[in-house]
A and B are shown apart, each in its own frame.
Chain A
């Protein structure tokens, strides 16, 4: 009985031990494979969905293709563009004009600045864009020069301090009391030396 019982116990223990070994080895590799497969499958599904959303929904498509990729192409094309040129790229002739005024006037200049009607005359195509007639807008580029708009000139405490007249679209020469060459856009001192 003892021998049989011992034998039965021994016999029963061996497969259990082997089974335990299997439990810790084989299922682990299976688990990793299953985890990787599930992740690849789920990743693929989500990638497909995102691609579809970006492709099919016009607003998301615009974000990816125009707003982000389109601008990245410009950045890659002109990576070292100076700040001036970047302003010009966005603000066009308005920036070119203000930059010109800045370079042609001293920092303490008081400029008689055109109004909206002079920047955008009804009878003429204007090269200007944006809110260039807005005083604060223009001051971002002209500061520390002072600018007085034509409309407020009469009432302004700076009316006697005006040193320069800004000319746009060939308008503004009426404020100059000397004769000279006429041009479309530029700046003239109030008094000649």
Chain B
């Protein structure tokens, strides 16, 4: 019972955090983002508690959440007054507009597929190798020992290889601490976290898509993202990849919305999500890098630096805190990065060969990347003539190149490059899946077609 109460508090915490950024997000955006943001803020609070020596317990965690919720509530009431409530009423009032059978069909399909996926996820306990040999076990033991920094499995006397290259000691902590949270509240397994993350992600993706396309378009894009084979398979495991995808992809999506609509709330939300993406996996830096580059170019062109600086600060803040936490508590491992410049043709060829194979296979990602290439090609004319936004394709390409550069600069002393490319890289590409479908459905050409479809299927008013 206390577990469900804790989950409820995390959702409320996330909901008010989004409201604090702006009450003008739609209800589906607020609900969808509430759990990922609420859990991430809870994790940061857990790190703070651990930092000052307060042990994890149901009392300490729930009290901290209560205090935060109360603070955010006061902020929302004081600054936004009735606007938060108004936006909810507005969302509900707008709901019947544009309803049609195609939308209903896709919503039904999403509910049906996700019902099966959620059931599967909750039914089976964590069993995949990477979770049991890492995140899941760290979360479980962290809840038993009421700490993260002082874990017995971080002790070199007990685990001699703990500071070796590729060790789990300096994995970014978001997923492990989410698991520690639910185990502290008495969960039997950690599966409620990945199950709810994916469910709320679908709602958030639908909500964010509705900002740029019709209800029907949003439902179709959510459905195709959902059924991406390898990603839906991993969404019911306790591994980090799908949870990382939630933060990274939504962060870039909100950046693209900001670049189109120029509302600061989207920039701040994007920056927050991209900052949290770096607490999920270290590779998340490629999305932060891509976003910063796009924002920097934009700032120079528009001669407006303040929003970009605030955005960039928000992006690096969570990881900076984690870095200080690691340094202060001796959580370190031998570096796997080759810091000096070098040229290795064979390594480049291997990376390009494996990555090309991944981008072109339909076994793992269905039609996702083919759809993206086709959409981009179909939209080139509009990018050139109508100045349609190219932020998403630019971000995708920049992040992909940055990721390949990271792969090139890794010293593979704990695993083979082939293994990393076959397994880690395959899962890293999940972050691009929502982005490619989002781009395809929100490009100028697609928007035009979806608008036509909605006009045909809508009931015209008198």
A interface residue numbers (CB < 8 A to B): 31-32, 35, 38-40, 42-43, 46-47, 50, 57-60, 62-64, 67-69, 71-72, 74-75, 83, 86-87, 89-91, 130-131, 134-137, 139-140, 143-144, 146, 152, 155-158
- Chain B residues near A63 (CB, 8 Å)? 227, 229, 232-233
The listed residue (B120, B137, B138, B229) touching A62 by CB distance below 8 A is: B229
Inter-chain contacts of B119 with A (CB < 8 A)? 71-72, 75
Known A136-B168, A143-B141: A43·B105 in contact at CB below 8 Å? yes
**Is B109 among interface residues, defined by CB-CB distance under 8 A?**
yes
Query: What are 18 A-to-B residue pairs whose CB atoms are below 8 Å?
Result: A31-B459, A35-B457, A39-B100, A39-B457, A43-B102, A50-B105, A58-B363, A59-B366, A60-B227, A60-B229, A69-B116, A71-B119, A74-B123, A75-B119, A86-B123, A131-B129, A131-B132, A136-B153
From A46, A47, A71, A140, contact of B140 by CB (8 A): A140
Chain B 123-140 interface mask (CB, 8 Å, partner A; 1/0): 111010100111011101
Of all chain B residues, the one with the shortest Cβ separation from A35 is B459
Contact: A42 with B120, CB < 8 Å? no
Verify if B453 is at the interface (C-beta below 8 Å from A): yes
Residue B42, interface by CB 8 Å: no
Decide if B189 touches A137 in the complex (CB within 8 Å): no
| Alpha-carbon distance between A156 and B161 when the two chains are bound, in angstroms | 12
- In the complex with contacts A39-B100, A59-B366, A83-B188, A75-B120 CB distance below 8 A: yes
Residues on the A chain within 8 Å of B100, using CB = 39, 42
Query: B interface, how many residues as a size bin?
Result: 35 or more
- Docked Cα-Cα span, A61 to B307, in Å, equals 46
Please report whether the interface of chain B is mostly helix, strand, loop or mixed according to DSSP: helix
- Give the residue name and chain of the A residue nearest to B114 (CB): A68
Q: Verify B366–A135 contact, CB threshold 8 A.
A: no
Q: How far is the CA of A40 from the CA of B160 in the complex (A)?
A: 66
| Chain A residues within an 8 Å CB radius of B457 | 35, 38-39, 42
Query: Are B117 and A59 in contact, CB atoms less than 8 angstroms apart?
Result: no
- A80 nearest CB across to chain B (Å): 11
In angstroms, Cα B117 to Cα A53, docked, is: 19
**A-facing mask of B205-236, CB < 8 A → 1, else 0?**
00000000000000000000001010011000
Task: Indicate whether A38 sits within 8 Å of B158 (C-beta atoms), given known contacts A43-B105, A60-B366, A69-B116.
Answer: no
Given contacts A57-B366, A57-B367, A75-B123, contact A67 B232 (CB under 8 A): yes
Please give me the residue from chain B that is nearest to A39 by CB atom: B101
The 8 Å CB contact of A71, one of B120, B141, B456, is B120
* B60 close to A (CB within 8 Å): no
Q: Are B160 and A59 in contact (CB under 8 A)?
A: no
Contacts of B127 in A (CB 8 A): 87, 90-91, 130
Contact flag A139-B153 (CB < 8 Å), given A39-B101, A42-B101, A131-B129: yes
The reply to whether the CB of B362 lies closer than 8 angstroms to some CB of chain A is yes
Whether B144 is near chain A, meaning CB under 8 Å from some CB there, is yes
Give the docked Cα–Cα distance between A72 and B141 (Å). 31
Q: How far is the CA of A71 from the CA of B232 in the complex (A)?
A: 13
**Contacting residue for B144 out of A43, A47, A60, A144, CB 8 A:** A144
A143 touches B144 (CB 8 A): yes
